[in-house]
Structure 1
């Protein structure tokens, strides 16, 4: 017989939540623009404090590195558009 608490820990340990770039951007904006603590915002959003802290630090580092104004949402869209552009070029080449 398996101890149910160990079984739950095993199942929970393998579950990884994915967050959209839009969600990450909004969470970071809540911390940056309101001046509220990372822990408070993380608790309200149901996100691990360390995870939100990492997102905020990445945002601040990108601002310091001169990537002013480009958000996770914009990065995701840029990648999507580049892929779409490559696919369209292949389609065009095939049709020629």
Structure 2
């Protein structure tokens, strides 16, 4: 059996079928004609930090950190606005 190489974009789209569209790993693998175990490996890599992400993309830990930073900034701006409206 030939060892097939898949582009990062293909891998990211395969993971999206499971994560965003709710397909089972088995159904997604069958739809894409890839081994279920290979898709499972890509899913595990994403859970560890987004190793399957599209080039230039960011992993889950990085996105979570950015999300926390943006929430904090938003809360500060809302507080500033509410204090400014009282004056």
Partner SS for 1:72:
coil
Under a length normalisation based on structure 1, what TM-score does the superposition of the two structures give? 0.53
Gaps of 5+ in 2: 58-87
Gaps of 5+ in 1: 1-11, 76-96
More helix by share: 1
Match of 1:72 among 38, 51, 54: 54
Cα distance in 2 for partners of 1:61, 1:19 equals 19
2:8 corresponding residue in structure 1: 21
Match of 2:26 among 30, 34, 39: 39
- Once the two structures are superposed, residues 31-88 of structure 1 have per-residue CA deviations (whole angstroms, 9 ceiling, x without a partner) of 100111000000000010000011011111105xxx9xx823326xxxxxxxxxxxxx
State the Cα RMSD in Å: 2.2
Do the aligned residues in 2 keep the contact of 1:25 with 1:72 (CA within 8 Å)? yes
1:54 partnered with 2:36: no
Aligned length: 57
Do the aligned residues in 2 keep the contact of 1:31 with 1:41 (CA within 8 Å)? yes
Q: 4+ residue runs of structure 1 moved beyond 3 angstroms?
A: none
